[in-house]
């Protein structure tokens, strides 16, 4: 029997088997200020060394201001975390992209931009959205801080093998429907924990037609279905994206790599433990109504009636979510007024996302009473957007144009919502309190977020496109 | 790190599904650079009515007098979903929990528990009903978790649970996982010599 892409990468990274443990080699270790300090200090306490500083790359993204380059702009605790990262990287010889560096940005945006993430690699980071890098056909997953320390010391991780799930999305996406809508529709279909214990591989003509940015959006949210990782087989779109990236292999190394990468796909007779199929033409613009990403409907559908949900646990969750979100069953999201819009995050802050949002933003002005911010994912994205004058479009429409960082996705800086605020957000989690205590988050695509900013409520982007 | 073997104690019934890591320990407490002291912020948004943690929410399970001193937390499906923050198990253990029993767990959280001497036990939904009912009826009821025997005991009930052998071994022995792997340095070095140039 053939092998899945996951199995091929797994086999190529197996260092040793010790009992039931598999020791897997890690090619790239990305770190940021929030989940690394305790790993560095653990290493030091034990008198251990970082095994491969040259495979480790650091950025500042979570705790930084999006209004100022000053490290103390968000208080002393945030500053200490950033300074600690800087000191740790200096001490251990890790390359750092600090605030103010022309390559700084959200860890999952800059890794691909630099060409650090290549097909067939294993990639880890103390961050659950590491799954993003699966878009390159790399096995990428989030780890805890103890595991960060383990990778520091050994460049390996002990892992159990995951089950495999193939998600096939075939056909052509309707106008106005994006990668974000595909992944929200997938999570809506299989559920918030539907892929727990699995590595998902996204396939089918609708996935193959996506740009690398779109593929990253899809893989990024694999964790929101509970998956260990998400994968997309590399193809010409992947190779074209990588070819001119600064850290991608060059010359002979590129040729060797390319030959290997072309073999990186699941074999036709490979076995998947589960297969889920969606038809692209059935997918509509999505908006979450609840407090997990699986609680989602199409913008033209009504919020479901909890009584109609047969599973008692899901029913109770829906009731609690509607209470927190201050919404009613049967209501349409287009009737719900919003107070905030956040365009950014490792899910949707890349150049293509900003282009889509700007295309909508140029049609009007941010509605009165709505506070809208655009936070590019990296300095490189920001510069590209400014070269294309997207910043002028956003500013003219009344959006705030900010400095790169994780920002309001989780509000570890001062980009935070207040109780009762309602936000159309291009981020990845609509958990209670995620963007601020008592705040309500609705996950949408960049175009849907921009359209909501102009209207003051959710609108069906397809009607604007018509 | 000391091991975990048999835990006997009372439980807090947190009758909710999808308890996510943002709820377990909200982001404003992730700015610390140490592993200690997160217990007082555990479930901050649900536990306190104010931002300064001066006004406990009397309706929240953890604040009820009858559940003080509990070492076992009961929950429903998909406990620990969301972020990879290890601050989640750090805050649960710092508060005093040694065991979390739920219908299911998110993968990263489950793995993080293993590195922090926190035992996650998955039981069937109906078995959880038994535990919830018993603890709600009598908060003082004792639950015994026997890791070597892989069994949860409450009164006459005995529920067996599954755990991978290497996880069980690690929890019982309190092993230094890194130290273990470092004994395989030769195998790692050998592997590294086989890595093609483009993957360096």
Q: CA-to-CA distance for A164 and A4, rounded, in angstroms? A: 8
Residues of A with Cβ-Cβ distance to B166 under 8 angstroms: 19-21, 158
- CB neighbour list of residue A56: distance below 8 Å, 6 or more residues apart: A29, A30, A31, A50, A92, A94, A95, A152
Mutation test of the interface with chain A: which of B1, B23, B31, B125, choosing the one with the most A Cβ atoms within 10 A? Answer: B31
A34 → closest Cβ in B30, B35, B185: B30
Contact flag B23-A147 (C-beta cutoff 8 Å)? no
Q: With an 8 Å Cβ cutoff, are A35 and B23 in contact?
A: no
Nearest to B17 among A16, A317, A434 (CB): A317
Check residue B127 and give its pLDDT.
98
Judge: A432–B23 Cβ closer than 8 Å, yes or no.
Answer: yes
Please, what is the end-to-end C-alpha distance for chain A in angstroms? 48
Is the pLDDT at A465 greater than 70, yes or no? no
Q: Mark yes or no for CB contact A144/B85 under 8 Å.
A: yes
Q: Which of A21, A137, A250, A323 is the best substitution to test chain B (most B C-beta atoms within 10 A)?
A: A21
Find the CB nearest A192 among B81, B125, B199: B81
The CA distances from residue B129 to A313, A314, A363, A448, B158, in Å, are 12, 16, 54, 42, 14
Report the gap between the CA of A316 and the closest CA in chain B (Å). Answer: 8
What are the Cα distances from residue A217, in Å, to A125, A184, A347, B89? 17, 10, 5, 28
If you measure CA to CA, which chain B residue comes closest to A78? B31
Residue A196 has its nearest CB partner, among B27, B107, B197, at: B107
Residue A464 has pLDDT above 90, yes or no: no
The pLDDT tens digits of the residues spanning A300-321 come to: 999 999 999 998 889 999 999 9
- Verify whether the Cβ–Cβ distance A193 to B195 is below 8 Å: no
Considering only alpha carbons, which residue of chain B is nearest residue A255? B198
The chain B residue lying nearest A158, using CA atoms, is: B181
What mean pLDDT do residues A215-233 have? Answer: 98
| Cβ–Cβ below 8 Å for A193 and B106 | yes
Q: What is the ipTM of this complex?
A: 0.96
Could you give the CA distance from residue A18 to residue B94 in angstroms, rounded to a whole number? 32
- Of the candidates B28, B84, B89, the beta carbon closest to that of A127 is on B84
* Other CB atoms within 10 A of residue A450 CB: 34
Hey, are the CB atoms on A228 and B196 less than 8 Å from each other? no
- In this structure, what token pair is assigned to residue A399? 């959006």
Task: Look at residue A140 in the predicted model and tell me its pLDDT.
Answer: 98
Give Cα A235 distance to the centre of its chain.
21
Report the residue of chain A nearest B22, measured CA to CA: A434
Of B164, B179, B195, the CB nearest to A20: B164
Mean pLDDT, residues A52-77: 97
Provide the 3-class DSSP secondary structure of residue A20: coil
Give the gap in angstroms from C-alpha A177 to the nearest C-alpha of chain B. 26
CB contact under 8 A, B27 and A437: no
B17: chain A residues, CB-CB within 8 Å: 313-314, 316-317
Q: From the CA of B21, how many Å to the nearest CA of chain A?
A: 9
pTM of the complete model = 0.97
Task: Convert the pLDDT of each residue in A358-398 to its tens digit.
Answer: 999 999 999 999 999 999 999 999 999 999 999 999 999 99
Return residues 41-60 of A near B (CB < 8 Å).
41, 46, 48, 51, 54
Our measurement of the distance from residue A448's CA atom to the centroid of its chain's CA atoms, rounded to an integer in Å, reads: 17
- Residue A466 has a pLDDT of 53
* Chain B touched by A174 (CB under 8 Å): no
Task: Summarize pLDDT for A402-441 with one digit per residue, the tens.
Answer: 999 999 999 999 999 999 999 999 999 999 999 999 999 9
Nearest to A39 by CA among B92, B90, B26: B90
Q: What pLDDT is stored for residue A75 in this prediction?
A: 95
B3-12 average pLDDT score: 95
The answer to whether the Cβ–Cβ distance between B112 and A144 falls below 8 Å is yes
Edge-first strand order for the sheet with A95-97 is A95-97, A56-59, A28-31, A122-125, A139-142
- Nearest C-alpha of chain A: how many angstroms from B79? 10
Signed CA dihedral, A388, A392, A395, A397: sign only = negative
Mean pLDDT in chain B? 96
> How sure is the predictor about A270, in pLDDT bands with cuts at 50, 70 and 90?
very high
With an 8 Å Cβ cutoff, is B192 touching chain A?
Answer: yes
Contact at CB, B198 and A153, closer than 8 angstroms: no
Please judge whether A292 and B20 are an interchain contact, meaning their C-beta atoms are less than 8 angstroms apart: yes
Mean pLDDT value across residues A183-192: 97
Least CB–CB distance from A433: residue in B23, B178, B191 = B23
Q: Which of A179, A169, A204, A202 is nearest to A281 (CA)?
A: A169
Taking only the tens place, the pLDDT of each residue in A3-61 is 999 999 999 999 999 877 899 999 999 999 999 999 999 999 999 999 999 999 999 99
Structure tokens at A378: 């990296």
Given CB atoms, is A353 within the 8 Å cutoff of chain B? no
Structure tokens belonging to residue A71? 């490290």
Phi and psi dihedrals of A277, rounded to 5?
-120, 135
CB contact under 8 A, B17 and A196: no
Helix/strand/coil (H/E/C) assignment for every residue in B24-89 = HCCHHHCCCCCCCCCHHHCCHHHHECCCCCCCECCCCHHHCHHHCCCCEEECCCCECECCCCCHHH
B181 Cβ under 8 Å from any chain A Cβ: yes
- Shortest CA distance to B136 belongs to which of B80, B78, B64, B71? B64
Task: Reply yes or no on whether the pLDDT at A265 is more than 90.
Answer: yes
Out of A127, A196, A433, name the one closest to residue B22 (CB).
A433
- pLDDT confidence bin for B175, thresholds 50/70/90: confident
pLDDT of residue B2: 73
Mean pLDDT of A96-109: 98
| Chain B contact probe: residue of A76, A145, A243 with most B CBs at under 10 A | A145
């Amino acid at each position: 029997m053939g092998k899945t892409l996951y199995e091929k990468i797994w086999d190529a990274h197996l260092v040793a088997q010790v009992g039931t443990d598999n020791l897997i080699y890690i090619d790239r270790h990305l770190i940021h200020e929030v989940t690394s300090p305790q790993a560095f200090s653990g290493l030091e306490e034990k008198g251990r060394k970082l095994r491969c500083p040259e495979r480790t790359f650091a950025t500042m993204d979570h705790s930084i201001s999006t209004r100022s380059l000053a490290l103390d702009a968000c208080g002393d605790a945030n500053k200490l975390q950033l300074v600690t990262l800087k000191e740790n990287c200096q001490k251990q010889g890790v390359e750092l992209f600090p605030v103010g560096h022309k390559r700084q940005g959200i860890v999952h945006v800059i890794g691909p931009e630099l060409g650090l993430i290549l097909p067939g690699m294993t990639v880890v980071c103390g961050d659950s959205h590491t799954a993003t890098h699966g878009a390159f056909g790399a096995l990428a997953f989030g780890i805890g801080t103890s595991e960060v320390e383990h990778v520091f010391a050994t460049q390996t991780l002990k892992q159990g093998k995951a089950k495999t799930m193939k998600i096939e999305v075939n056909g052509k996406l309707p106008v106005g429907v994006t990668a974000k809508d595909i992944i929200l529709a997938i999570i809506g279909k299989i559920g918030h924990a539907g892929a727990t214990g699995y590595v998902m591989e996204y396939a089918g003509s609708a996935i193959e037609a996506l740009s690398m940015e779109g593929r990253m959006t899809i893989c990024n949210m694999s964790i929101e279905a509970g998956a260990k990782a998400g994968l997309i087989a590399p193809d010409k779109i992947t190779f074209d994206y990588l070819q001119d990236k600064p850290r991608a292999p060059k010359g002979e190394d590129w040729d060797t790599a390319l030959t290997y990468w072309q073999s990186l796909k699941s074999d036709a007779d490979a076995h998947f433990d589960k297969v889920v199929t969606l038809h692209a033409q059935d997918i509509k613009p999505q908006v979450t109504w609840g407090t997990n990403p699986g609680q989602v409907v199409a913008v033209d559908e009504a919020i479901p009636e909890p009584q109609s949900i047969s599973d008692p646990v899901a029913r109770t969750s829906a009731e609690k979510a509607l209470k927190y979100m201050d919404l009613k069953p049967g209501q349409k999201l287009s009737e719900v007024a919003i107070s905030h819009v956040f365009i950014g995050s490792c899910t949707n802050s890349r150049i293509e996302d900003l282009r889509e949002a700007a295309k909508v933003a140029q049609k009007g002005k941010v509605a009165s009473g709505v506070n809208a911010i655009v936070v590019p994912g990296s300095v490189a994205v920001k510069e590209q957007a400014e070269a294309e004058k997207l910043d002028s479009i956003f500013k003219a429409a009344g959006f705030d144009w900010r400095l790169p960082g994780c920002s309001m996705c989780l509000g570890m800086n001062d980009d935070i919502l207040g109780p009762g605020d309602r936000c159309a957000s291009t981020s990845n989690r609509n958990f209670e309190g995620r963007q601020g205590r008592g705040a309500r988050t609705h996950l949408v695509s960049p175009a849907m977020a921009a359209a909501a900013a102009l209207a003051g409520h959710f609108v069906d982007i397809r009607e604007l496109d018509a | 790190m000391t091991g975990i073997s048999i835990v006997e104690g009372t439980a807090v019934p947190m009758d909710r599904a999808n308890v996510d890591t943002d709820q377990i320990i909200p982001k404003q407490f992730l700015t610390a650079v140490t592993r200690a002291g997160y217990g007082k912020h555990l479930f901050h948004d649900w536990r306190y009515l104010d931002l300064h943690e001066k006004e406990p929410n009397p309706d929240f399970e953890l604040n009820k007098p009858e559940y003080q001193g509990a070492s076992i937390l009961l929950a429903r499906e998909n406990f620990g979903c969301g972020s990879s923050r290890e601050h989640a198990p750090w805050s649960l253990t710092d508060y005093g929990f040694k065991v979390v029993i739920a219908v299911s767990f998110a993968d990263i959280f489950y793995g993080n528990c293993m590195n922090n001497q926190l035992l996650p036990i998955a039981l069937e939904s109906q078995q959880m009903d038994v535990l919830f009912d018993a603890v709600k009826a009598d908060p003082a009821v004792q639950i015994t978790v026997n890791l070597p025997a892989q069994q949860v005991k409450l009164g006459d009930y005995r529920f067996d649970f599954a755990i991978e052998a290497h996880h069980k071994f690690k929890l019982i022995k309190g092993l230094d996982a890194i130290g273990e792997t470092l004994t395989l340095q030769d195998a790692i070095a050998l592997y590294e010599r086989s890595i093609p140039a483009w993957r360096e």
